Amino acid sequence: MNIVVCAKQIPDPAEPGALDPQTKTLKRDGKLILDESDMYGVEMALQLAEAAGGGEVTLVSMAPDNKVDGLRSGLAMGAAKAVLVSDPALAGTDALGTAKVLAAAIGKVDGAQLVLTATESSDGYTGTVPEQIAAILGMPSITFAKSIEVRDGTVYVKRQTDAGYDEVECPLPCVVSVTAGVVEPRYPSFKGIMAAKSKPLDQLTLADTGVDAGSVGWGGGGQEIVGIEDAPAREAGEIFEDDGSGVDKIVAYLENLKIV
Amino acid sequence: MADYRPPLRDVAFVLEHLVDLDALCALDEFDGIDADTLLGALEENARFTAEVIAPINRVGDIQGSVHDPATNTVRTPDGFADAYAQYVAAGWGGVPFPPAYDGGGFPWLAGIALQEFISSANMAFSMAPLLTQGAIDLLLEHGSEELKERYLRRMVTGEWTGTMNLTEPQAGSDVGAVRTRAVPQSDGSYLISGTKIYITFGEHDMADNIVHLVLARTPDAPPGTKGISCFVVPKFLVNDDGTLGERNDAVCVSIEHKMGIKASPTCVMSYGENGGAVGYLIGEENQGMRYMFTMMNNARLSVGLEGLSLAERAYQDAYTYAIERHQGRAPGAPAGEQSLIIEHPDVRRMLLTMRSLVEAMRNIVYVTAEGIDLSRHHPDAEVRAAKAEFVDLLIPVAKAWCTDMGVEVTSLAIQIWGGMGFIEESGVPQHYRDARITTIYEGTNGIQAMDLVGRKLGLRGGTAVLELFDTMAGIDAELAAAGPALDGIRVALADALASVRSSVEWTMTNGLADPRDALAGATPLLRMFSLAVAGWLMARQALAAVAVGGDEGEAKLSTASFFCTQWLPQVHGLGAQVSAGAGSLMELSAEQLASR
């Protein structure tokens, strides 16, 4: 079974990120690494391919400046190949434009039956791209998977909810978004890292994808970022003396947050 | 204690500017490896090490390894066996060893960078792979094909660990006093009997087999170091088909209760309690000491690296605390506000000291490792010989100075943490306690000083060290050409080199007349020589920093400048100690030295 995993390459969250005041977007000119959210999808895909007794895992990504470091990490984990779409014309592309480009790239992967994504990226957080990809490809979409099984052309997903999980099934091909933290992503082995160097990595331009240039880039989006502001500084906490009612106050506080 | 963050950019700076990584990777031996690949591998290793090995450092210190006297087994702390299994699965142990034995074929320099991360993350844990590496090194060089085929592959993968068995109760620094016996058997093997102490990871629960390399004497061996042979003594004998056979007569009868590296079991090994442990001779009889010497440079460099690693970790802890802790009001701060302690000049002095020492140590260790690679693999025999000489001169510096400074920097971290730094809960004292062994094992720092004075200064009749001084002084023109920003460094370095050279020359002249005079001043001389080398490499760092520019260049230049103008001038105060001779040290009788 061939599986595609959408893999976003993002600025290292350990480094202080910076917003470009001109474009009001995150600066992406430095080194990009594989988004941790996507490592769960890569791990899930590798496990599914192993369980199926074969099949390839292909990474699909859109990133500026032909950046491939994050994809190399995924290849080192065990993915067989990668497709990167990189084009100056894609700078500023919004979520829907991104979905169009990724869907086009996925269309170029032979025999892709299952598309895995994260539920959202760790830098953009729109959380809409997986469903948009599914709509564009005309596939069913299942979200927030905590586990995935494939038997006889059908995908069985345990779908995480606030109350527990739903059991959902749907026919292949389909798009499934994987909840962060549901599997333990493997660390690349030294041999895996060395092997990743020579794995196929197709680099496509916007024209190669066939996506209309008018629907991507700064001008192509149906949205505009009108302002950016610093997050408000954290306010001082509430302090009260425990006169014996401390427990009640804590419970009331947590209830208010809908934690208990 | 802050989470360990592998200093990838600092390491990359050294690899890109202090050593010539491209030239190294271009050697035939490293075919298919380029700088990008090497740095990429370091990044993945750094993530693994920070997330898997570092988190069990503290629990390792608290629990320690525990010996069960009923079974003579050792249980390592929670998480160690699992982390080691992951380390083996990832294949990190074999990176700097030949592909012929399933290694990664990377330069030793790459292995040193990996080792920096693992030793910073968890020094006690790192000792299992480190000792294995030493045993591999010796077997590769001197083992027969049969021994290599039987043992090496699974040591390179890390499935089996290795140990080095030198020390006995009466034979510490004086290895020639070894008494363990090896009696030849008709099948070509030997029966080993005796007691070895201080055997790192001599017994543990992380691997299926342990390959002990043991120094022992055959029945007719000459006395002293000339009569020592080296044997492979596996915990489990290995069958012809590679499976594990009988349990050998080699057991861990107890482990030491130590000041630091508590998770690393330091074992008392008893060989031959039940008739004799089966051992296999490495190379020829009576050549054991010579074989040990071939791996000694690598082992000593690795211990010097531990000084760097712990200093780096301690610096991270100190910095993290200094930007969080408010105390007092720094000069110029608004009234009524507590300042961050990083704003206090004296805390800055400590941080700058730590940071510049860490960078100086890293420069020394990595440049020496590059020298080891070139001395082994450069196509030109003259270059190989010159690099071997350079490494010989720098090994006592890397081992002794980096470990002395490791103790200094880990102590400063405690100082910056103040009262909390004295509390074990902070995690900061562990680095200091762990660092304290590094000045002792693998040849005490006093022995390193004797090595410099007794062996290294005399290389090529004294010409080798004087040529190194010429090389170091040769940087003056480059510094002058780089502009006034480097003037302070240039002047301080030139003054220091003149002062150190004069002390070295004094020792070479007077040491011949009376070796006691040379030995009396050996430790201060090694300190002076180390500072000179460190200052020279810091000047090279400064040159690179100017070329790199930007934020990173500014930081590297500033620490290099701090080191050369404020730390390096110590050399001027040490000359008197070097040239005082042995007279004042030996003047009093041993009885007169008693307290009264």
- Chain B residues whose CB is inside 8 A of the A191 CB are 91
- Chain A residues whose CB is inside 8 A of the B47 CB are 187
Q: CB of A189 within 8 Å of any CB in chain B? A: yes
Distance from CA of B194 to the nearest CA of A (A): 40
In a domain, A256, yes or no: no
Predicted-complex ipTM score: 0.90
How many angstroms separate the CA atoms of B265 and B258, rounded? 9
Distance from CA of A178 to the nearest CA of B (A): 22
> Domain check: are B334 and B285 in the same one?
no
Domains: count for chain A:
1
> Domain check: are B237 and B287 in the same one?
yes
> Domain check: are B271 and B375 in the same one?
no
> Domain check: are B288 and B383 in the same one?
no
Residue finishing a domain among B265, B293, B321: B293
Cα dihedral B94, B98, B104, B110, rounded to 10, equals 80
Q: CB of A190 within 8 Å of any CB in chain B? A: yes
Q: What Å distances lie between residue B492 and B374, B498, B538, CA to CA?
A: 31, 10, 11
Q: What Å distances lie between residue B116 and A103, B10, B39, B42, B389, CA to CA?
A: 43, 12, 14, 11, 24
- Chain A residues whose CB is inside 8 A of the B37 CB are 194, 197
How many angstroms separate the CA atoms of B429 and B298, rounded? 28
In a domain, A37, yes or no: yes
> Domain check: are B394 and B450 in the same one?
no
Q: Do B89 and A73 touch (CB under 8 A)?
A: no
Instruction: Count contacts between A and B (CB, < 8 Å).
Output: 33
Nearest residue, CB atoms, A197 vs list B37, B90, B104: B37
pLDDT by residue for chain B (596 residues), tens only, comes to 789 999 999 999 999 999 999 999 999 999 989 999 999 999 999 999 999 999 999 999 999 999 999 999 999 999 999 999 999 999 999 999 999 999 999 999 999 999 999 999 999 999 999 999 999 999 999 999 999 999 999 999 999 999 999 999 999 989 999 999 999 999 999 999 999 999 999 999 999 999 999 999 999 999 999 999 999 999 999 999 999 999 999 999 999 999 999 999 999 999 999 999 999 999 999 999 999 988 899 999 999 999 999 999 999 999 999 999 999 999 999 998 899 999 999 999 999 999 999 999 999 999 999 999 999 999 999 999 999 999 999 999 999 999 999 999 999 999 999 999 999 999 999 999 999 999 999 999 999 999 999 999 999 999 999 999 999 999 999 999 998 999 999 999 999 999 999 999 999 999 888 999 999 999 999 999 999 999 999 999 999 999 999 999 999 999 999 999 999 999 999 999 999 999 999 999 999 999 98
- Chain B residues whose CB is inside 8 A of the A72 CB are 40
Best of B43, B114, B323 to disrupt the A interface (most A CBs within 10 Å) is B43
Domain of B467 in residue numbering reads as 444-586
Q: Which of residues 24-63 of A touch B (CB under 8 A)?
A: none
Q: Do B86 and A189 touch (CB under 8 A)?
A: no
Q: CB of A197 within 8 Å of any CB in chain B? A: yes
In a domain, A251, yes or no: no
Q: Do A187 and B47 touch (CB under 8 A)?
A: yes
Minimal-distance CA residue of chain A relative to B88: A189
In a domain, B593, yes or no: no
* CB atoms inside a 10 Å sphere around CB A206: 21
In a domain, B596, yes or no: no
In a domain, B425, yes or no: yes
Q: CB of B47 within 8 Å of any CB in chain A? A: yes
The CATH number of the domain where B52 resides is what? 2.40.110.20
Residue finishing a domain among B258, B273, B293: B293
Domain of A197 in residue numbering reads as 3-221
Residues 6+ apart with CB under 8 A from A36: A13, A122, A180, A185
> Domain check: are B112 and B37 in the same one?
yes
Helix (H, G, I), strand (E, B) or coil at B172: coil
Side-chain-facing half-sphere of B207: CA atoms under 13 Å: 26
B116, B52 in Cβ contact below 8 A? no
Minimal-distance CA residue of chain A relative to B42: A190
Q: CB of B413 within 8 Å of any CB in chain A? A: no
> Domain check: are B400 and B462 in the same one?
no
Q: CB of A76 within 8 Å of any CB in chain B? A: yes
The CATH number of the domain where A40 resides is what? 3.40.50.620
Q: Do B91 and A69 touch (CB under 8 A)?
A: no
Distance from CA of B395 to the nearest CA of A (A): 29
Distance from CA of A190 to the nearest CA of B (A): 6
Task: Calculate Rg over the CA atoms of chain A.
Answer: 21
What's the CA angle centered on B469, arms B386 and B353, to 5 degrees? 110
Q: Which of residues 79-108 of B touch A (CB under 8 A)?
A: 86, 89-92, 94-95, 104
In a domain, B1, yes or no: no
Residue B442 falls in the annotated catalytic set: yes
